[in-house]
Structure 1
């Protein structure tokens, strides 16, 4: 009897048929193609030493599907004029990968680069000052001073001052001490986390802002001296969740001021990053390293260090940006969302005149640059929606600001004359 040689049967995994397998294979291939496309997150331009074109540095991210996180890397390029209406990009040979949790902020002159490295929770935060070819300084800030530096794009704020000696930034406030217990009950005094036979309680429950901020402590503002590594907190913000800090233009005196956004933290925190209907305001405070030469009569040091609310006449103010000449402070507002409780209504753009010689005042006049558009005509400007600001938003004329906004179903670039 001849044994017929039977062809092996192709079996699909249990619960899957051949059509399902082909569909999954096609979809996974499509996903891999999409994941291979990098995204430009940030870009910086620097003057070239040869005065022919400019240097540019790009922060790029790309999904790592197996690790379920993003790869981040830096790619440099030299940009020069090509044809009358075009430019030539001369790219570096290869990009350089950046560790997760790293933040990069060039100084105003482009001669220094600040790299902040957030390591594991509870460990130190590293601040590196880079020059053109090497690391010039490195400082380690203990978790007893503050936690991780915010890099979320909302509370986030890292700002160099004009003479590049200080950097203001937003980080998680210092963790409160927790009660320690042993087999004998509560133990008085401090104790190491790793001490045998003891454990730490959780302490009082603290509400977070939800969404992308679970288990993150309140944001607070700190200033680091980039020459000595000394770190000071900004006082007087205990009842606020703070963020988006920037340096005010340098005054002729010894005082330097910071401008930041504050959200009331003594109310329920029901989400913030995607909820524009949370009341907020702009505040100004004297930087902790600055010295007061002349104290106002009737004011003590604590009163002078207290924040000044700049936008008392409006229910929402965020993303502060100073004009190149330092005479105007621009900001966005979601007052229509706050007043109506809609999550994302039309936004508006405003200006406050800023006196370089004087101190910030709480009764400054607010100028409407782009007001709320309630009922736009067909094909006309619909108002500002989901606006994105650049850290340096100004064109070379010093009065035109560039920003992006949603217009219908697309995101467009807008040019706004801020000083008219």
Structure 2
């Protein structure tokens, strides 16, 4: 297939819009409930090389039936409204006011308040010079409305002052070149966050005082009465470690009054991390997630509840070590900004569950847990909660052959089923066949410390074969390693299947969704257990599906997935005919001093980490032994490397190290260098370039 044809297919696949956030308002009109769903969408625009963001609204007519509400009618949506320059926005829950932080053409950040009559208020935050740039990421930032809707709370960068006499001027003299720590990959502009409050009546902006000096605040929200705020504080002493994709950073939950009094609510245990504080509608309870520090950078976390009246904390849902079949496997991701039922007695969340992502509700009184997807997992392999307001849930559903779909449904009484309504149908589904594979390691590959664990994979393939030929198989490996390939819409997978390949997405032991034991089983066994698991998944797929061509296998992956891809072509040199790796870990020993998550370099090979760690010859030897570079001399497979020059997680020199090792042996290798991209290779033009080159590489060598 010609490059232009591949690009056209990728444009169709990657152009499918995805809902990323939702807000809801409800009012009575003529005695009938009217609910407005406002959804924010993201869509790749390949021609413009940009990622578009837009709003779309639906109006729902709601009917009350005895003890529950149902959606009676869904009115047609209005036209999509593009979001120009918006960094972060928030909808007030009562009056439906819309707060927006927007960047102007002059790089000024402006706070705008919109209502039904148009623009109501506008503040030039940059000109006020009370703080640096407003944070627009989900890790730290967000806009929080006070209960009376007269104040806004947000997070911004602290101004770097040259001296107390000139607080608004940049540092000068001896302080001009002082190194400023940041929070690593993806957060290079974030160092010292501050909590900021806007009084909407007066337009006054102030930076809250009283945050402990050893923590960086974020994920802030108003406490009842609007005289204090809850926030998560991440410890930045003795130095900062990378925070993106890492839920294991030392942190605590705080309550900070407008008078500057600060109290730690989650205790002084330095071995725990917290995130996602969410206040109940009645203001009596707060839930948040808690995990452990160091070790796996992403793991199963517990759901805690804090009673604001008794000031006592209890566990609502504990860490799940090993789930039974058909049960919730625990929580592995952040809570949506709104997750409470209207009566403040239940919490709704979505999380990885084996090879899927599912929707759950837990009752805080009985601690009983239930699925909410109505066993429709054969239609949708992924259910992600975007918001719930007054019991109306907005979810994003998808599967490997169905692009993201927006659905709504009211939370039913305990034991009841949800009546789901689809608001947005994708332009169409694709003629793919997908199935979930459960894989059990043989006895010789069992982990004796965590015996009896299994894992899984998702196989996606064209429904029709070309002229009855067998289908070449691309083995797709996720990074992390503690992440997941749920049975959801995946642009790379869909694009390759559209081109005629079958794709096997492997969730090896250590992936999220299989319990904490599975995650811990990989510690100290990277480069061995995970490599064998992928190879076992490939053998299982070939055994169960005669349509797959065992003579035409390829392997692709990024980060730890690239690490495993390089291992596989080194340890099984006669099996794979092509390899494409994005920002792969190649040599863990040389990566040690250049990664923003140095703790994981120790934990991954089974060594304990402490901030004062000094590398030893023994530790470096273990890291080298676990690395694919030691198998470089055996690699015969043509290797395509895609490297982001601004990668702070996996140094770009990792890919260069393998490139040189292969070049020196005249082994087929090609390297793509993206000077403006980082670890995720997330720019729209970069993603398109990577897909095109990967497809051509597979086509050439398969």
The answer to whether the superposition gives a TM-score over 0.5 is: yes
Cα deviation per residue 1:78-97 (whole Å; 9 max; x = unaligned)?
12369x98654333442111
Q: After the TM superposition, which of the residue ranges 273-282 and 39-48 deviates more from structure 2?
A: 39-48
Cα shift at 1:190: 9.7
Is 1:377 the counterpart of 2:341? The answer is no
On the 8 A contact 1:101/1:119 being kept in 2, the answer is no
Is 1:42 the counterpart of 2:42? The answer is no
Is 1:107 the counterpart of 2:92? The answer is yes
Q: 1:58 to 1:208 in 2, by over 3 A?
A: same
Distance across 1 between alignment mates of 2:133 and 2:19? 24
Cα shift at 1:41: 1.0
Cα deviation per residue 1:267-308 (whole Å; 9 max; x = unaligned)?
3222112111111100011025xxxxxxxxxxxxxxxx2321
Q: Which residue of 2 aligns with 1:16?
A: none
- Residue of structure 2 aligned with 1:320, choices 273, 277, 282: 277
Q: Which residue of 2 aligns with 1:268?
A: 239
Higher helix share: 2
Q: TM-score, normalised by structure 1?
A: 0.77
Higher relative contact order structure (alpha carbons within 8 Å, sequence separation ≥ 6):
2
**Any idea what SS the aligned residue of 1:43 has?**
strand
- Residue of structure 2 aligned with 1:154, choices 139, 157, 160: 139
Q: Which residue of 2 aligns with 1:408?
A: 354
Cα shift at 1:158: 1.6
Is 1:329 the counterpart of 2:303? The answer is no
Q: Which residue of 1 aligns with 2:58?
A: 77
Q: Which residue of 2 aligns with 1:174?
A: 159
Cα deviation per residue 1:120-179 (whole Å; 9 max; x = unaligned)?
79x53211111112111111123631122212111013211111111111111113339x
Q: Which residue of 2 aligns with 1:33?
A: 12
Indicate the RMSD between aligned Cα atoms, in angstroms.
Answer: 2.9
On the 8 A contact 2:15/2:46 being kept in 1, the answer is no
Cα deviation per residue 1:82-117 (whole Å; 9 max; x = unaligned)?
9x9865433344211112343221112033211111
- Residue of structure 2 aligned with 1:208, choices 179, 182, 191: 182
For 1:113-132, list aligned pairs within 5 A: 113-119=98-104, 123-132=107-116
**Any idea what SS the aligned residue of 1:393 has?**
coil
Distance across 1 between alignment mates of 2:80 and 2:174? 44
Distance across 2 between alignment mates of 1:349 and 1:66? 44
Is 1:349 the counterpart of 2:315? The answer is no
Q: After the TM superposition, which of the residue ranges 68-77 and 388-397 deviates more from structure 2?
A: 388-397
**Any idea what SS the aligned residue of 1:26 has?**
helix
Distance across 1 between alignment mates of 2:174 and 2:268? 46
Distance across 1 between alignment mates of 2:46 and 2:249? 35
- Residue of structure 2 aligned with 1:306, choices 257, 261, 276: 261
**Any idea what SS the aligned residue of 2:4 has?**
helix
On the 8 A contact 1:72/1:100 being kept in 2, the answer is no
Distance across 2 between alignment mates of 1:215 and 1:396? 38
Distance across 2 between alignment mates of 1:62 and 1:344? 28
Distance across 2 between alignment mates of 1:68 and 1:135? 31
On the 8 A contact 1:385/1:407 being kept in 2, the answer is no
Q: Which residue of 1 aligns with 2:42?
A: 61
**Any idea what SS the aligned residue of 1:142 has?**
helix
Distance across 1 between alignment mates of 2:251 and 2:103? 27
On the 8 A contact 1:118/1:148 being kept in 2, the answer is no
Q: After the TM superposition, which of the residue ranges 234-243 and 374-383 deviates more from structure 2?
A: 374-383
**Any idea what SS the aligned residue of 2:337 has?**
strand
On the 8 A contact 2:143/2:154 being kept in 1, the answer is yes
Is 1:137 the counterpart of 2:92? The answer is no
Distance across 2 between alignment mates of 1:217 and 1:66? 35
Q: 1:215 to 1:113 in 2, by over 3 A?
A: closer
Q: Which residue of 2 aligns with 1:220?
A: 194
Cα deviation per residue 1:289-344 (whole Å; 9 max; x = unaligned)?
xxxxxxxxxxxxxxxx2321111155222111111221111111122xx1x51111
Is 1:246 the counterpart of 2:193? The answer is no
Distance across 1 between alignment mates of 2:111 and 2:339? 26
Q: 1:191 to 1:171 in 2, by over 3 A?
A: closer
Q: 1:68 to 1:369 in 2, by over 3 A?
A: same
Cα deviation per residue 1:358-415 (whole Å; 9 max; x = unaligned)?
9xxxxx43201101112323443322222x3222212233211111111011111110
- Residue of structure 2 aligned with 1:280, choices 237, 251, 264: 251
Q: After the TM superposition, which of the residue ranges 402-411 and 198-207 deviates more from structure 2?
A: 198-207
On the 8 A contact 1:118/1:149 being kept in 2, the answer is no
Q: 1:135 to 1:270 in 2, by over 3 A?
A: same
On the 8 A contact 2:135/2:157 being kept in 1, the answer is yes
Distance across 1 between alignment mates of 2:168 and 2:258? 34
Q: After the TM superposition, which of the residue ranges 163-172 and 24-33 deviates more from structure 2?
A: 24-33
Distance across 2 between alignment mates of 1:223 and 1:217? 19
Distance across 2 between alignment mates of 1:159 and 1:114? 9
Q: Which residue of 2 aligns with 1:295?
A: none
Distance across 2 between alignment mates of 1:312 and 1:71? 42
Q: 1:134 to 1:200 in 2, by over 3 A?
A: farther
Distance across 1 between alignment mates of 2:174 and 2:145? 38
- In structure 2, list runs of 5 or more residues that go unmatched: 367-702
- Residue of structure 2 aligned with 1:391, choices 337, 340, 355: 337
**Any idea what SS the aligned residue of 2:9 has?**
helix
**Any idea what SS the aligned residue of 2:339 has?**
strand
On the 8 A contact 2:89/2:142 being kept in 1, the answer is no
Distance across 2 between alignment mates of 1:175 and 1:120? 24
**Any idea what SS the aligned residue of 1:352 has?**
strand
On the 8 A contact 2:281/2:342 being kept in 1, the answer is no
- In structure 1, list runs of 5 or more residues that go unmatched: 1-21, 179-187, 289-304, 359-363
Q: After the TM superposition, which of the residue ranges 365-374 and 86-95 deviates more from structure 2?
A: 86-95
Cα shift at 1:202: 4.2
Cα shift at 1:264: 0.9
**Alignment size in residue pairs:** 353
**Any idea what SS the aligned residue of 2:13 has?**
helix
